[in-house]
């Protein structure tokens, strides 16, 4: 037998009557172990069939796979009192997997000291070479090599080069 969970939202006035009918549907379909959890009256996020609040129920039961379709069909016919419903199969929770315990480096060191067996690990030195940082103003030469722009090249393009003494003055670009 498989465990199922049915959650439904009912109109407040007829919620208890609907709950009795839904329990009967489950028992007629050979469902067993019906557990009813009443979540109470709650305000709906949006209107459903001109209703702004409704009563919520959760039913847990066990049934065979063939019994679900008749329950589903009968719920679909309860359109007046039933606003929304959802019937799902609950997954059986499996036991926790046993994890392999890996000793920490401190425990390994203590164990190796007890055995007085010293195994030296080879020392490895990693050297990385990085290119020196180029100036922030870089253009590509003919062969794709980065070549820093100089003040002379900027002046040749027609832009005014600011000197340190020209801090307060604004530069203007020449015609291109």
Average pLDDT per block of 10 residues along the chain, 176 residues long: 90 89 90 89 90 91 89 87 89 66 60 56 75 57 58 59 55 55
CA distance readout (Å), 133 to 130, 137, 139, 140, 144: 9, 11, 14, 15, 17
Asked, for residue 70, whether it belongs to a domain, the answer is yes
Residues forming beta bridges with residue 51, ordered by sequence position? 48
Task: Provide φ and ψ at 114, rounded to 5°.
Answer: -65, -40
Which two tokens mark 39?
């979540």
Asked, for residue 127, whether it belongs to a domain, the answer is no
Q: How many domains does the chain have?
A: 1
C-alpha span between 57 and 40 (Å, rounded): 7
Q: What is the pTM of this model?
A: 0.50
Asked, for residue 150, whether it belongs to a domain, the answer is no
Q: Identify the domain containing residue 35 by its residue range.
A: 2-89
Asked, for residue 12, whether it belongs to a domain, the answer is yes
Asked, for residue 10, whether it belongs to a domain, the answer is yes
Q: For the segment 98-134, what is each residue's pLDDT rounded down to a tens digit?
A: 666 665 555 656 665 555 545 667 777 777 777 666 5
Asked, for residue 136, whether it belongs to a domain, the answer is no
C-alpha span between 149 and 138 (Å, rounded): 6
pLDDT given for residue 53 in this prediction: 92
Asked, for residue 26, whether it belongs to a domain, the answer is yes
CATH number at residue 47: 3.30.70.60
Asked, for residue 174, whether it belongs to a domain, the answer is no
pLDDT given for residue 56 in this prediction: 92
- Residue pointed to by tokens 């679900």: 68
pLDDT given for residue 60 in this prediction: 92
Q: How far is CA 76 from the centre of its chain?
A: 33
Task: Provide φ and ψ at 151, rounded to 5°.
Answer: -65, -30
């Amino acid at each position: 037998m498989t465990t199922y969970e049915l959650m439904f939202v009912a109109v407040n006035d007829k919620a208890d009557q609907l709950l009795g009918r839904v329990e009967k549907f489950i028992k007629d379909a050979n469902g067993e172990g019906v557990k009813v959890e009443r979540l109470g009256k709650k305000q709906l996020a949006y209107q459903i069939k001109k209703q702004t609040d409704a009563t919520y129920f959760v039913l847990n039961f066990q049934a065979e796979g063939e019994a679900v379709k008749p329950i589903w069909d009968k719920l679909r016919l309860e359109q007046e009192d039933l606003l929304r419903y959802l019937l799902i199969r609950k997954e059986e929770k499996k036991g926790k997997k046993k994890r392999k315990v890996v000793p920490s480096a401190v425990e390994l060191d203590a164990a190796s000291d007890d055995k007085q067996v010293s195994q030296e690990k080879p020392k490895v030195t990693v050297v990385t070479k990085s290119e020196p940082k180029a100036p922030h103003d870089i253009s590509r030469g003919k062969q794709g090599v980065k070549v820093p722009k100089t003040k002379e090249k900027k002046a040749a393009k027609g832009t005014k080069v600011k000197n340190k003494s020209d801090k307060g003055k604004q530069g203007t670009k020449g015609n291109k």
